[in-house]
Chain A
Amino acid sequence: MNNKKLIGNGFRFFIYGLVIAFVAWAIYNQYFSYIFSQSSTFLVLLRQHFVLVLVSSVLAILIAVPAGIVITRPKFRKAEWLITNIVNFGQTIPSLAVLALMISVLGIGFNTAVFALFIYSILPIFRNTVAGLDTIDPNLIDAAKGMGMKPSQILFRIELPNAVYSILAGIRTAVVLNIGTAALAYVVGGGGLGVWIFTGIQLFDNGFLISGAIPVTIMAILADYLLRKLENVLVPKGAREVSNT
């Protein structure tokens, strides 16, 4: 256990080191200059990127978590394979294809990008919600029922607190993926830091490329970090110890 942790930490610091070296190299070559020379454009793009991720993730959470809860209720259990397959199918389509498909329906712009990102975020959240609720020991539910808890009390007092670790892990995966995928929003005219990344690629301009890509990376790492912190707040202490061992 401790050894594993040590290797994990070592690996993490190695990656941090690489990132720092890369950033140092980029600064040395003045690849970040656009962030400062065109700071107003940068802020607009950053905000667009942020809003894209925020709106699509929040929508995905609002749909996927309740859907996962509903599908694990005894009444709807039978439909689980159907819903899971539909959601899985959504995930197998490449993100670029989803964007392209959405253009034909919603046209070009912010909404299309949000919708595509939303579709893309549903699966990890849904799957983790279902997994989290499914792995709860059926004896716990039996005990809760036998003591006279109502179905809603069982859900909110027993099932969700014990599944929240898994649900949050799904949300984290979705958000981090989303931040990366949101760079593709440029393709459908959705804005975001993808604009600079793709401009950089097209013009062979490392300056634009890196000024767009590095903030996206930092955003993803930051989101991951913050959502991990959120776990410490939201996961009940007893349930956390259990899921860690």
Chain B
Amino acid sequence: MITFNQVTKKYSSEKTAVKNVDFTVDEGKIVVLLGPSGCGKTTLLRMVNRLESITEGSIVIDDEDSMDLDAIELRRKIGYVIQSNGLFPNMTIEENVMIVPDLLGWNKKKKTERFTYLMKLIGLDPKIYKKRYPHELSGGQQQRIGVVRALAADPPVMLMDEPFGALDPIIREKIQDEFLQIQREVKKTILFVSHDIDEAIKMADKIMLLRDGEIMQYDTPSEMLTHPKNDFVNQFFGKDRAIKSLSLHTVKDLQEVIGLAEMDESIYDTKTINVNQDLRNTLSMLLNQEADQVIVTNDEGKRIGSITIDLVQKYLHFEIKGKLSVSQEG
């Protein structure tokens, strides 16, 4: 758990980067700090491991004030991932991943075991990659290594500064999925900086939207999309926030609320989609093909019905727009 108590950062008397920020990141949750550049999100993140000093207020990590610890000791307890992966070119993958355990004085056996476990977590063969150097890996692989390096000493808290920002969209989405999978297993308390709205909606348990160092709204992604607190939040998420909010719902949700359509057996070459797929992707699929239906399959691959644009629209109206209209009145 990370608690920010009235945290303020001033670079000079006129220049304030972060103003009275007060919020809590719950145990095992991902909070995404979102906002336009210069909003203070990276500064806020870097204050947690004291790469930036705190002017006023305090940051408490698991009941311990960050200022009570030695900065070096504090940082070794916090996983840190940066955008450009920050792998050291002179060290092998194993040396890179095992930096913090090495600093903490782990023995060789413990380190080897941990390395093997971590590499398996990201689906890379520890034997093959052990002696390789960072430049021999692809951008996606390097970023994966950057992530497991932060996990190496099993810190309860992780700070991630636009970790997937430098990757191309396809790889980025893949690694986001992988990372969520890993998070389900390791359950870290994560503070995650992003400027990508879609990434925030996908990754976050809660989103913190910042502007000029002030909190605009701190809420779950769906609340943020359906109940924007003010004009800035509304504008930031854009006119297509209804469509964006579709990515928070799956075909299964739709099935439970309004049910699926009958399958039209006369069409043979329709595409299929998994029932756990989100509705935004489903809608794109429907728009991209000529047929007006997509066959829905369950996890065993069995066809359980079909979905149409009409259905998505109906669901949008009931579930999401219903909420949206309430917020606009209130």
Contacts and interface: CB of A to CB of B under 8 A. Distances in A.
Given A238-B92, A241-B135, A242-B135, A139 B86 contact: yes
B72 A241 contact: no
Interface string A147-168: 1111001000110011000000
Contacts of A147: 75-76, 80, 99-100, 103, 149-150
B67 to A, nearest CB: 16
B74 A148 contact: yes
B133 A237 contact: yes
A58 interface: no
A238 B78 CA distance: 27
Interface in B42-82: 49, 51, 72-78, 80, 82
A238 B90 contact: yes
A150 B51 contact: no
Contact of B80 (A143, A150, A153): A143
Contact of B49 (A146, A158, A241, A242): A146
Given A147-B75, A147-B76, A241-B135, A158 B90 contact: yes
Contacts of B171: none
A148 B84 contact: no
B135 to A, nearest CB: 5
A84 B78 CA distance: 39
Contacts, number: 75
A145 B99 contact: no
Contacts of A149: 72, 99, 103
Contacts of A139: 82-84, 86
Nearest to A237: B133
B291 interface: no
Nearest to A151: B72
A143 B161 CA distance: 11
A142 B90 contact: no
Contact of B88 (A142, A144, A241, A245): A144
B259 to A, nearest CB: 50
A148 B72 contact: yes
Given A137-B84, A241-B135, A145 B51 contact: yes
A140 B134 CA distance: 13
Contacts of A107: none
Contacts of B103: 147-149, 153
A206 B80 CA distance: 68
A239 interface: yes
B304 interface: no
Interface of A: 137, 139-140, 142-150, 153, 157-158, 161-162, 236-239, 241-242, 245
Given A146-B49, A148-B74, A162-B90, 5 more contacts: A139-B82, A147-B99, A162-B88, A238-B133, A241-B133
